[in-house]
Amino acid sequence: MTKYIVKKYDQDDYKIWNDFVAQSKNATFLFHRDFMEYHQDRFDDFSLLVFEGQKLVSVLPANKSGEIIYSHQGLTYGSLVYKEQTKLAAVIEIFQAILFFLNENKIEILQFKALPSIYHLKPADEVLYALFLGDAKLVRRDSLSVIDLSQDNITSKIRKRGFQKGVSNQLIIKEETHFESFWNEILIPNLDKRHNAKPVHSVEEMNYLKSVFPKNIHQFNVYSGDKIVAGTTVFETQTVAHCQYISKNKDQENLGSLDFLFHHLIQERFAEKRFFDFGISNENQGKNLNEGLSYWKESFGASIIIHDFYELQTVNYKKLKGIFV
């Protein structure tokens, strides 16, 4: 039905997959197979490659759960990945070929997770138009708190006072190569106490990912004397510094530790990045907003970028026929 051939990823595709991701306009290091596979025991991989003849033209990071295919559930974001040269009409046809392939393989539903626009190297919303043509249903919408570092941003007086408090308390920021202190003394106790939850990544997983992606994963800890009081884990892409984890010692609220830390990250360490992404303040699949957390991020000058999630029937490949005039 199409000039495109779709196949399921296998280990022999490791190099061609990674080479393609490195050359695309809408992928990050999270789509590298070494990142996708650190937790492969938890997910039934169903990633797809799309070829035009012998040429790889697109990939879709994905996994299967039950009878549903998901934009990979082990990743913060997802997308149909393609290169700068790929035209809108081709993306539509590639997406149609994927839906047809899934439908032929008795998969009825695709849950598609988009890539927020700040992570695009160049505009890459072609796939969102293809989703519209396929009658995809918006099922979740998260709000990312993002600072555009190419523009002037207003930091609130309360954040400035917090930074000065950190200076007065002689806090020290260290960029470190290990994660044990932050995980064991700050992050794990806080998540357990406040949410009865654990970090998505274990210490062992973070140490492994740091060893594989040393230029992309960073740990910043704040110390009062020799005691750790706060920290954040940052995933760095070509355009974005993204905070994967943020936490502080709740018994030492008045040190100004996070204000001190984020002043440094925004004004100095990542000042040359295009965007600084605090991440979401949403719960319950985007239906609830942690207002206090959102306000704290916005008081650094952040505003909102949307991250969308869609669901569509694979039989809707038929809806992408006959659209060109």
User: 292 — alpha (psi -120 to 50), left (phi > 0) or beta?
Assistant: alpha
Nearest to 18 by CA among 54, 49, 53, 52: 49
Whether residue 118 contacts residue 240, with contact meaning beta carbons closer than 8 Å, is answered with yes
Whether residue 44 contacts residue 8, with contact meaning beta carbons closer than 8 Å, is answered with no
Backbone φ and ψ of 150, nearest 5°: -80, -5
Please give the Cα distance from 121 to 118 (Å, whole number): 8
Q: Among all chains, which residue has been given the structure tokens 């990071």?
A: 61
pLDDT string in tens for the chain (325-residue length)? 569 999 999 999 999 999 999 999 999 999 999 999 998 889 999 999 999 999 999 999 999 999 999 999 999 999 999 999 999 999 999 999 999 999 999 999 999 999 999 999 999 999 999 999 999 999 999 999 999 999 999 999 999 999 999 999 999 999 999 999 999 999 999 998 887 889 999 999 999 999 999 999 999 999 999 999 999 999 999 999 999 999 998 776 689 999 999 999 999 999 999 999 999 999 999 999 999 999 999 999 999 999 999 999 999 999 999 999 9
Three-state DSSP state, 221: strand
Alpha helices in 145-256 (DSSP H): 157-168, 180-181, 188-195, 203-212
DSSP string, 172-192: EEEEES--HHIIIIIIHHHHH
pLDDT for 254:
82
Q: Which residues contact 311 (CB under 8 A, 6 or more apart)?
A: 109, 110, 111, 112, 136, 137, 139
Number of H helices, E strands in the chain: 10, 16
Give the number of residues written for the chain: 325
Q: Which pTM does this prediction carry?
A: 0.94
Residue 232 bridge partners (DSSP): 220, 246
Q: Is 254 exposed, middle or buried (0-12, 13-18, 19+ CB in 10 A)?
A: exposed
Please give the Cα distance from 133 to 50 (Å, whole number): 20
Whether residue 189 contacts residue 5, with contact meaning beta carbons closer than 8 Å, is answered with no
pLDDT for 194:
80
Six token digits for residue 295: 């306000």
